Amino acid sequence: MACSATIYKAQINIADMDRGYYADHPLTIACHPSENEQRMMVRVLAFILHADPALQFGKGLSTQEEPALWIKNDTGEIELWIELGQPDEKRIRHACQRAKQVVIYTYQPKSTSLWWSQLQGKVSRFNNLQVKQLDQTTVDSLTSLAQRGMKLQCTLQDAELWINDDNQQVHITLHNLTH
C-alpha cells in the first residue's frame, strides 16, 4: 500500500513593502511521503517571497516537467520557475530555456558549495537565473514553524524577511550565489 501525502494548512498574511504587495493566502500544502518538513517549509518560503495571485505549487517531486512553484501568464508562457535543492545542469538549462525568470533555493548548506562550484561556470550564461542559499540556522528556524495548521505573518522590508507565528519570530537570511 502506498503512503499518502500529509496535508498541511497554512493561513499566510504577507506584507511585502519592497514590492507593495499585501495579501492573505490560504494554502493547502501536500507533503509527499518522500518530502521532509524542511523541504516543504522551503516551498512555503518561496511562496512567501514570490507571492502573487497566479503563483502555484507544481505537482511535486514525482513530476519532472514542473517546478516546485511557478507562474504562468494567460497565454501559458512561464513567467517564473522556482526550483528547490540542487538541480542538475540539465534541469537548470531546461528551466532557463522555458521561463522568463528562474530562481533556485538551495537549503543543504553542507553540500551547496561543491554543487555550485561544479555548476557555476556551466550555467553562468543564463541571465534569467538566480540562485539563493539558505544557511543552516535559517533552515532550522524555518522548519520549526511547521505545523499541520499554521498561521504565519510575514513582513518583507529592505530585503529583510521576518516570519511570525503565535510562538516565535524567525528572521530569514538568504545569500545570493548569482550576481
| Residue 120 domain-assigned (yes or no) | yes
* Sequence-ordered list of residues with C-beta below 8 angstroms from that of 60, at least 6 positions apart, any chain: 30, 32, 35
Q: What is the predicted pLDDT for the residue at 7?
A: 93
Confidence of residue 61 (pLDDT cuts 50, 70, 90): low
pLDDT in tens, 102-145: 999 999 988 999 999 999 999 999 999 999 999 999 999 999 99
Return mean pLDDT, the chain. Answer: 93
pLDDT of 2 > 80? The answer is no
H runs (alpha helix) in the chain: 37-49, 89-98, 109-123, 136-143
Q: What is the predicted pLDDT for the residue at 103?
A: 98
| Residue 94 domain-assigned (yes or no) | yes
| Residue 163 domain-assigned (yes or no) | no
Q: What percent of the chain has pLDDT over 70?
A: 96
Helical packing angle, 109-123 and 89-98, nearest 10°: 60
- Into how many domains does the chain fold? 1
| Residue 83 domain-assigned (yes or no) | yes
Say if pTM beats, i.e. exceeds, 0.75.
yes
CATH of the domain at 108: 3.10.640.10
pLDDT in tens, 77-97: 999 999 999 999 999 999 999
Per-residue pLDDT averaged across 2-20, rounded? 92
Residue numbers of the domain that contains 63: 36-148
| Residue 138 domain-assigned (yes or no) | yes
| Residue 171 domain-assigned (yes or no) | no
Strands of the 6-16 sheet, one edge to the other: 21-31, 6-16, 149-157, 160-164, 169-172
Confidence of residue 17 (pLDDT cuts 50, 70, 90): very high
pLDDT in tens, 150-164: 999 999 999 899 999
| Residue 9 domain-assigned (yes or no) | no
Q: What is the predicted pLDDT for the residue at 1?
A: 46
Please state, in angstroms and rounded to a whole number, the distance separating the CA atoms of residues 103 and 82: 5
Confidence of residue 10 (pLDDT cuts 50, 70, 90): very high
| Residue 7 domain-assigned (yes or no) | no
